[in-house]
Amino acid sequence: MSAAAKLVQYVVVNGEIAKSWPKGAVIAQCCHAVAAVSHLYAADPDTVEYFKDLDNMHKVVLEVRVS
């Protein structure tokens, strides 16, 4: 197993926003966040390794509700 196959990107979505915003708006905000983090950490060795195999990138999207 390659080092890239062991890396996982987690996207955590605020459940309160997710239930009140249109689904497309939530997806757009998640895309913006992922793009920003990818840019900010582009030189990080784990980020470089993660992007080496674009066909096998792993992501987990989680919803968190804060009460």
50 located within any domain: yes
49 located within any domain: yes
Say how many domains are in the chain.
1
pTM, 2 dp? 0.79
Instruction: Write the pLDDT tens digit of every residue in 9-66.
Output: 999 999 888 889 999 999 999 999 999 999 999 999 999 999 998 888 999 999 998 7
Cα–Cα distances (Å) from 48 to 10, 14, 38, 40, in that order, read 16, 27, 10, 12
Q: Which H helix or E strand runs over 6? A: none
For residues 51 and 3, what is the distance between their CA atoms, to the nearest angstrom? 11
20 located within any domain: yes
Of 47, 44, 10, which is closest to residue 30 (Cα–Cα)?
10
Q: Is 67 helix (H, G, I), strand (E, B) or coil?
A: coil
Instruction: Check pLDDT > 70 for residue 2.
Output: no
